Chains A and B, each alone.
Chain A
Amino acid sequence: DTAVSQTPKYLVTQMGNDKSIKCEQNLGHDTMYWYKQDSKKFLKIMFSYNNKELIINETVPNRFSPKSPDKAHLNLHINSLELGDSAVYFCASSQPGNRKETQYFGPGTRLLVL
């Protein structure tokens, strides 16, 4: 069984469109994250949710809106896509408790904006 899954795996779209990426974890974790890995391969955190509440927002443009319907799901909606949004987006989750640095990552969603 896949622990952290993301859909879709690949997403090709035109500039200006709106798209969503979905993430689900079956590990029973309370905290979920979105990371972005750009063409230079640097991995940066975007958002973190704990029990459906936003706890980290790393100065991401407000075109990006995360939504957590329950603690097992964290979706990312992107409005008015721009060329610079092309990247690989990774979802992750971490165990309950105080230390959340042990994180489990999904396989990534490769977004290409044309």
Chain B
Amino acid sequence: DAKTTQPPSMDCAEGRAANLPCNHSTISGNEYVYWYRQIHSQGPQYIIHGLKNNETNEMASLIITEDRKSSTLILPHATLRDTAVYYCIAPKPYGNKLVFGAGTILRVKS
């Protein structure tokens, strides 16, 4: 898996956009970037993934730089329920497993 680096924690005001960065400078051409989150006392939850192009779904947007060395997960209107640990993962293709790091603790505050 490509190594990913995330800030240990971030705060965000409720209703504002939460922008979570991730560095993955050693990512190879066929490795996707995946984002998961884990709300307290729950199992990890898949959010979004992408390869080169920006992606958007009902939960979030994923912006990947042109050189693919970093990406940003955007929660457009953060709510208190978005408080969680967010994991950026670049798994080895067809490796059939996820390697979780420490992630970023996002605290959404009212």
Q: Which residues of A contact B (CB under 8 A)?
A: 4, 31, 33, 41-45, 48, 50, 55-56, 58, 90, 92, 94, 98-108
How many pairs of residues, A versus B, come closer than 8 Å at their CB atoms? 54
Closest approach, in angstroms, between the C-beta of A98 and any C-beta of chain B? 6
Q: What is the bound-complex CA distance between A102 and B57, given in angstroms?
A: 14
- B43 — which chain A residues lie within 8 A by C-beta? 4, 90, 92, 105-108
Provide 14 A-B residue pairs closer than 8 Å at the C-beta atoms, listed in order of the A residue.
Answer: A31-B96, A41-B85, A43-B100, A45-B99, A48-B97, A50-B96, A56-B97, A90-B43, A92-B44, A94-B96, A99-B93, A101-B34, A101-B89, A105-B45
Tell whether A105 pairs with B44 under 8 Å between CB atoms, given A44-B100, A56-B97: yes
CB contact under 8 A between A101 and B32, given known A45-B97, A48-B96, A106-B43? yes
Chain A interface, DSSP helix/strand/loop, else mixed: strand
Give Cα distance in the complex from A18 to B49, angstroms: 39
B residues whose Cβ falls under 8 Å from a Cβ of A: 32, 34, 38, 41-46, 49, 85, 89, 91, 93-94, 96-100, 102
- Are A103 and B100 interface neighbours, CB within 8 A? no
Given known A-B contacts A90-B44, A105-B43, A107-B42, A100 and B96 have beta carbons under 8 A apart: yes
- Determine the distance from Cα of A70 to Cα of B100 in the docked complex, in whole angstroms: 27
Q: Which of A98, A105, A107 contacts B94 (CB 8 A)?
A: A98
Whether the pair B49, A55 counts as a contact (CB closer than 8 A) is: no
Q: Chain A residues near B49: list those with CB within 8 A.
A: 101-102
Known: A101-B34, A101-B49. A43 touches B96 (CB 8 A): no
CB contact between B98 and one of A4, A101, A107 (< 8 Å): that residue: A101
Chain A CB count within 10 A is highest, among B34, B38, B85, B99, for: B38
Quick check: A55 and B96 within 8 Å, CB to CB? Answer: yes
CA distance A55 to B85 in the complex (A): 28
